[in-house]
Amino acid sequence: MADDAIRCDACPVLCYIKPGRTGACDRYANAGGKLIRIDPHVVLERAVERGDTLVPFLETVRDWDGTLLNGEQTFVTAIGAGTTYPDYKPAPFIISSEVAGVDMVTVVTEGIFSYCGVKLKIDTDRHLGPECSTVRSQGQAIGHVTTSEYGSQMMSLGGVRHLTGGTRREGTATCDALLNLCNGNAVELTVDNGAAIEVQANQPPVVDGVREERMRVGCGSATIGMFAKQWFGKVDEVVVVDDHITGVLSEHQAGKLLGVPETGIKMKGQRSTPGRYFRVAEPGTSWGGTNIDDPLSILDPFDPEAARPGLRLLMVSTTGEHRAYFELDETLTPREKDLPEPLARSVERIRDNCEPALCTVLFMGGAGGSLRAGVTENPVQLTHSVGKALTRVTCGGAPVYVWPGGGITFMVDVSRVPANAFGYVPTPALVAPIEFSLRLSDYAALGGYMDSVKPLHSITHEDDASRRISAHADNPWPLAPERGNK
Amino acid sequence: MNSRAQIRRLSDGRRLHLHDGPIDVILEASGEPGEVERAYRASAARFTNILGELCSELRFLRAPARLDSKLPGGPVARRMLDAVLPFCDETFITPMAAVAGAVAEELLDEMTSAAILKKAYVNDGGDIAFHLAPGERFVIGMVELPQKPSMFGTTAIHCDDPVRGIATSGWRGRSFSLGIADSATVLASHAALADAAATLIANAVDLPGHPAIYRVPACDLAPDSDLGSRLVTQEIGQLARSEIHQALNSGIAVAESFQRRGLIHSAALTLRGIVQTVEPHVTLPAAESCSR
């Protein structure tokens, strides 16, 4: 085999690639003996005025139409830019442009993040698994369950310990799951002693095969408070079943204020305050995030002193997804009946007030030494400059949250980053775009590679591999002046 | 799930984009929403294994096909071999000539066996397999140069037509070509067969020994190419109008022989803006666009 060709191991085709040529995929190439990724380089175009949103990869016209770009309207992202790793060399693109009369520079590189992961927020009240439980993908441990937030379960996936601290299989499975989540694909996860879930950025979670439709309108007690007036006079008793706090209308403060009489209802579980019960059942994936399929199973027999035949009882979950209507017979036993029309409307209203349940995926990573060295000869200066908000950090043009404190550790909502912006290296580690934008004068002051600065129009003209896309309508323009925050 | 395959719905919410290594597919199915969903799940599940399967038999698939070739193991590889066998005793061809069409067919079959669909297509880099329920039809636009997407013709395919595959080959495409056709588009009973035939017809559009055609041994460009040291077209200089017609005529002769043998349904060839067709199913606009 020719000795100047290199073997690409990005996929099992294992192409031999000659210098200056690409492999069968047209995505990986041999540049002077090195394997590089040459996905078309993404140039973000400001299109907020037109209301455009991102155009998917295959629908973009790759050709350059030759239009002269107005500097302020064009932003070069790091997607497809290449990396500095493992050499300490200037970032692949350092681009100057003039914004509102100020010379700006944007340093563009793809970072290799061995320290990175995903923070996952799953909108559901269903019990996904105990806190600290291991989360698995392809059978491998890739993260853990963390806190429950209001209407959501948080998970932390990835991190250096799963990526490179465990077995090879664990690292590969972790990298796979992170890459798929960051690129907007669905991933199947299992929680030890918990549920099997399918998650995908900006899509509803699927828990044990059931697609989650809605977030709860509030806890059971809050739901009683919100709807008490609408139920008053139409039904004698309402139980809002909720794994956290189950509410009971006749005992609840809201019912008392309206003058709802006692009904003789007896709840299981532990009474917290009047009309509010903890632990009426075990956590689960059924009624209101409990494990019950029969709502009557959380009731003890009615108190014959207070109850009467014909008493009307509505039981409903906090999303309105589960509901049942009963009337007491002569023996004070609840008998299920069709839900009367006015109550059906109130259940409908609970549903209408629930927000759609979604999974949201935040990529979190820390910019390491070689990445920062690609920006300046004096890497700590970049950290200081970011800390002082002189340098703005973006990820594929999307806004990021930079953690206060040391280092450059940031989080970004992957749904605001252009499609397929994330890649990986076999380390395993994720490759993510990162751009640093700052005033040209500040760049010089922190020891930037001034010799490598190129004007914007030179990039967008000479580089016919670049791909223009419209900016995400919800993102602030990366080069727009800051308005007050930070 | 393998680590590379990317499967996502495009922003129109209808089409599915599947990518793995050199395979890049866009597909769409129409029918009842539940059926479409089932079809998409089936195709996505199948897709993740395809590249691995092909690579496990890559050496065989890159070798010239022979009538007595052993049967490969993978279903896609079998489709590839089946598609090239009718051509292999008269010319050099490897199963790789049908890879894109075979992948498209495999995914289409996966969808139609999992769900009841009105229409579906699987477009693997321009090689297209499709399904039409009774009463349905597709209108297909033809583009001469992918980098200049303007259509030079359209063709409608009805469910009654014996066509379920379309493929296009040319020297500017991602695969190497031995000929100089800008495009050779072939309609055939299925996509893998169309793919193999388009490859050979595009190879036949040629002016052997012409000084304006710059050719390079395929292995100098890609050491592991199935074409070995065969010369592939890299650049074409000035051609006289008569030469363009001469080259196209060579391709037309091969296409007509394939058609006589019942291997293809019809074909359209382009070179330097001149279009020649085999068979009247292709509807072209007025003459001026044919001699552009």
Q: What is the pLDDT along chain A (486 residues), one digit of tens a residue?
A: 446 888 887 788 888 888 888 888 777 888 778 877 765 555 555 433 333 333 322 223 233 232 323 334 567 666 766 654 444 456 666 777 666 667 778 887 778 888 999 999 999 988 999 999 999 999 999 999 999 998 899 999 999 999 988 888 999 999 999 999 999 999 999 999 999 999 999 999 999 988 888 888 888 999 999 999 999 999 999 999 998 899 999 999 999 999 999 999 999 999 988 999 999 999 888 898 889 999 999 999 999 999 999 999 999 999 898 999 999 999 999 999 999 999 999 999 998 888 889 999 999 999 877 778 778 888 888 888 888 888 889 998 899 999 988 888 999 999 999 878 898 877 788 988 888 888 888 888 888 888 778 777 666 544 445 666 667 767 777 776 654 433
The reply to whether residue B21 touches residue A419, judged by beta carbons under 8 angstroms, is: no
Which are the contacts of A101, defined by CB distance < 8 A and separation ≥ 6? none
Give the per-residue pLDDT at A451: 79
Does the pLDDT value for residue B167 go beyond 60?
yes
> Rounded to a whole number, what is the distance in Å from the CA of B85 to chain A's nearest CA?
24
Give the per-residue pLDDT at A468: 65
For residues A127 and A113, give the distance between their C-alpha atoms in angstroms, rounded to a whole number: 32
Give the per-residue pLDDT at A42: 56
* CA separation, residue A468 to residues A39, A56, A57, A61, A109 (Å): 13, 11, 10, 8, 17
pLDDT in tens, B67-119: 988 889 899 999 999 999 999 999 999 999 999 999 999 999 999 999 999 99
The reply to whether residue B149 touches residue A179, judged by beta carbons under 8 angstroms, is: no
Confidence of residue B16 (pLDDT cuts 50, 70, 90): confident
Beta bridge partners of A446: none
Chain B residue with minimum CA distance to A173: B3
Tokens in use for A472?
Answer: 């995400």
Identity of the residue in A13, A24, A176 whose CB atom sits nearest the CB atom of B3: A176
Q: Which domains does chain B have, with CATH numbers?
A: 1-133 (3.10.520.10), 160-292 (no CATH)
Phi, psi of B222 (to 5 degrees): -135, 105
Tokens in use for B279?
Answer: 């068979």
| Residue contacts between A and B (CB atoms, under 8 Å) | 78
Q: Which residues on chain B are in Cβ contact (under 8 Å) with A176?
A: 1-3
The reply to whether residue B21 touches residue A25, judged by beta carbons under 8 angstroms, is: yes
Which are the contacts of A132, defined by CB distance < 8 A and separation ≥ 6? A144, A145, A146
The reply to whether residue B22 touches residue A24, judged by beta carbons under 8 angstroms, is: yes
The reply to whether residue B55 touches residue A26, judged by beta carbons under 8 angstroms, is: no
Identity of the residue in B24, B51, B221 whose CB atom sits nearest the CB atom of A12: B51
Domain layout of chain A by residue ranges:
1-38, 39-114+368-413+429-470, 116-215, 220-352
DSSP B46: H
Give the per-residue pLDDT at A90: 60
Is B45 part of the contact surface with chain A (CB cutoff 8 Å)? no
Q: Are A6 and A18 in contact (CB under 8 A)?
A: no
Give the per-residue pLDDT at B189: 94
Q: Are B267 and B185 in contact (CB under 8 A)?
A: yes
Give the per-residue pLDDT at A444: 87
Q: Are B52 and B2 in contact (CB under 8 A)?
A: yes
Buried-exposed string A89-126: b where 16+ CB fall within 10 A, e elsewhere: ebbbbbbbbebeeeebbbbbbbbbbbbbbbbbbbbbbb
Which A residues, 89 through 148, put their C-beta within 8 Å of a C-beta on chain B? 138
Q: How many CA atoms lie within 13 A of A385 on its CB side?
A: 25
Identity of the residue in A13, A54, A63 whose CB atom sits nearest the CB atom of B55: A13
> Rounded to a whole number, what is the distance in Å from the CA of A142 to chain B's nearest CA?
14
Region B53-80: what's the mean pLDDT? 92
The reply to whether residue A185 touches residue B24, judged by beta carbons under 8 angstroms, is: no
Length of chain A: 486
- B221 CA to centre of own chain: 22
Give the per-residue pLDDT at A10: 76
Q: Pick the more confident residue, A143 or B157.
A: A143
Is A61 part of the contact surface with chain B (CB cutoff 8 Å)? yes
Confidence of residue B21 (pLDDT cuts 50, 70, 90): confident
Give the per-residue pLDDT at B290: 30
> Rounded to a whole number, what is the distance in Å from the CA of A211 to chain B's nearest CA?
14
Q: Which residues on chain A are in Cβ contact (under 8 Å) with B11?
A: 53-56
DSSP A218: S
Kindly report the average pLDDT of chain B as a whole number.
87
